[in-house]
Amino acid sequence: MLNTQTTPEAMTLEEFLENDLEGYEYVKGELVPMPPTSMEHGEISSNVLLHLSLHIFEHQLGRSYTAGTIFQLDDRAVKPDIAFVSTDRLPENRDQASPVPPDLAVEVVSPSDKHYDVTEKALAYLRSGTRLVWVIEPVAKTVMIYRSETDFTVLNYEGTLTGEDVVKGFSCPVAQLFE
């Protein structure tokens, strides 16, 4: 067992998954600190989770997950702000990090996030098998929807966010995410 009082210089993905250092993600052999989020970040995440989880639960589509849940993406262990895994892809053992990528990953951009890092993370989800990624930008009140490395769309405050073929039947005005 790893001493969590100190942050190790080098650690394997397996060690990270065994120890889950709170406040970190694991990216290509390195620990990446996750700064605390703002109240605005929490409010937007809660709004998305409320609308999305209600739809998922009512239609028995699978499970939604909050920011503390670890998903293994090839050489990464990440904690999306919100995630969805469909019923047919849920792992048997859910007492550990998810060995499967989410069907939908949602990232809410924080003031400390760098645009490059957020985009790179969205693309890492897609390369690992995530079918849809929503990147929510609080300042511009937009949602960037990634379907592949070459297929992405931006919705503004007046648009309507849908689950497409990933979260079937889900629809929510973008403005409601920022209330």
Report the pLDDT averaged over residues 149-153.
95
How far apart CA 60 and CA 55 sit, in angstroms, is 8
Look at residue 7 and tell me whether its pLDDT is greater than 60.
no
Look at residue 1 and tell me whether its pLDDT is greater than 80.
no
Look at residue 30 and tell me if it is in a domain: no
Look at residue 38 and tell me whether its pLDDT is greater than 80.
yes
Look at residue 152 and tell me if it is in a domain: yes
- Residue 70 lies in domain: 37-177
Looking only at the bridges linking them, the beta strands covering 82-86 and 104-108 are antiparallel
The better pLDDT of the pair 94, 45 is held by: 45
How far apart CA 136 and CA 138 sit, in angstroms, is 6
Where does 123-175 show beta strands of DSSP type E?
132-137, 142-146, 152-155, 160-162, 171-173
Q: Please give the tally of structural domains in the chain.
A: 1
Using pLDDT thresholds of 50, 70 and 90, give the confidence band for residue 20: low
How far apart CA 114 and CA 49 sit, in angstroms, is 23
> pLDDT by residue (tens digit) across 78-114?
999 999 999 999 998 888 889 999 999 999 999 888 9
Report the CATH number at residue 108.
Answer: 3.90.1570.10
Look at residue 18 and tell me if it is in a domain: no
Look at residue 17 and tell me if it is in a domain: no
Look at residue 2 and tell me if it is in a domain: no
Look at residue 22 and tell me if it is in a domain: no
Look at residue 149 and tell me if it is in a domain: yes
The pTM assigned to this predicted structure is 0.90
Look at residue 24 and tell me if it is in a domain: no
